[in-house]
Structure 1
Amino acid sequence: MDIEGSEVPVKYTALIVDDMPIMRTVEQVFLAARGFNTVVVENGKEAVDLFAAGNSFDIVLMDLEMPIMNGIQATKEIRALGVKSLIFGVTSADEESMQTFKTAGLDECFEKPLDDEKINKILERLNKGINSVRDISIGIPANNSPASSPIPQLRAILVDKAKSLVVDFASSCRSTSTILTKKMAVEGSEVPIKKCTALIADDMPIIRTVEQVFLNIAREFKTEVENGKQAVALFPAGKSFNVVLIDLEMPIMNGIQATRKIRAMGVKSLIFGITSGDKESIQTFKGAGLDECFEKPLDDEKIDKILERLDK
């Protein structure tokens, strides 16, 4: 990642494994500021294939929930190849899932999102492992100096990239808007779509933003929460929603636990899982009481299916 007047010498190599483009971008920005050359892939199978083909990396940042092959399976297969690279899990899973992830062969597991403190811990582990092999001059800046954070230009790139991704999603919503307009048209006159209420439960702010964009077009009133426990707490407090969009992997309480608790209260709202989990996880999620489960990210086709269920 080249930035005029702010080049950082490349001293390390890193493989980033995550199905979410924004998370790959965040991790690239933090690592580029610390002297890493990065390669990115979007699922565990692609990561395993790279090592099987003879590629090597100083570190691997591995997500847990991904389609095709999740982080646990990928880590086990990479270790089975005899790979000695440091592998760090970076996930928003609950403690039990994180413990299972660690036993697959991780060196450490961090909660999303990556930040300066976590990067410092990664560098400490990396320096211990290769200090005796080659000169490491980038190190960990002492006394929390400004150099301990990614440089401002890199942070600016991260913000711009995040905005760009949201704009891309918003642009793709235009066809949804057209669909809704056609649905409203009856013999040349417009019929208002009934207002709906929606609850969005996801620990990632960028995902909540994307889902808001789509729901804005569907003219729905939204409430946001960042974990399953917060979602569950709304219903005994008297809140009701036509639609609930719920993530699977969240801290404190995941989507499966939250959905079960919500259904146990007798809630009849339509609950849609929006996740990047593997097939087995999705089936378990559905069994908790979902009406349907969609793979991230939300798009026009999925929104149309949600609207069809609402219209019935």
Structure 2
Amino acid sequence: MKKILVLGGTRFFGKRLVELLIEDGFDITIATRGITPHPFGDKVQQIIVDRTDSEEFKTVFENTSWDVIFDNICYSPNEALTACEVFKGKTKKYIFTSTLSVYDGLLGKELTEEDFNPYTYKIRYGNSQDFSYGEGKRLAEAVFFQEATFPIVAVRFPIVLGLDDYTRRLHYHIERVIEGKPIHFINLDARMSFISSDDAAKFLKFAFLSDIEGPFNATSTGTISMQELMVLIEKMVGKKANIVVEEDNESTSPFSLPDDWYMSQVKSMNAGFTCETLLNWLPSLILDITKENN
């Protein structure tokens, strides 16, 4: 039976990943700070550890070995380097949850994996508070691909959406429409990528069971403009949205962008995984969130 370590795994798509792995009967250990209770009972083992404490991390995992490690909670090059050192010779594959934000600043075109090259990106070390979210993830990718001695997959997700999304970014839009409050956008024509939490978990599992290595975009088929998104929300809520188009404001949408920001999934499709079409799942998710608020 394959031994799996999941760093994180108690909420959102990380939780769904663990559920999928449990269904397949793997030997699963989750490593968390122990702050969020896990719902898996005796189906998983749990290690309590502070990921940001490198000495504690090294001590806890000193005498361990794993078939695969899923890392959902690495946000800095320092954390990535610690993982490279700790798990050297102790895992057959390492799957790092990365992000569309590695392409920060590259707007107005369909983004492919080649638009950010972690194999040549200059490494600067520091903790998560030393960098923006996107830069922290870029540098973490660079450390993994340049320093790790084990195979790496960096899964670049766009914004992940689901009913239990703790960031509540889609919820924000729906709640403000229900309440009649304004939502500010910079550009209603800007198109974005999204992925469902179910597909995010399924792709991580696919990355484990397949022989892929390197960076991979994982995104739903299709994109949506902010205008189209708001029309969809209005339809599901049954109310007109109070939309204001102007520069940043305290009520600015967390999805507001000056231009398109979306990814290609051609590389993932060629590898054997195609995410569900965006408009096949997004309307029902909006409806479910609307029902929660009524």
Q: Which has the larger radius of gyration?
A: 1
TM-score (norm 2): 0.36
Q: Which has the higher helix share?
A: 1
TM-score (norm 1): 0.34
- Select the structure with the greater relative contact order (CA < 8 A; seq sep ≥ 6): 2
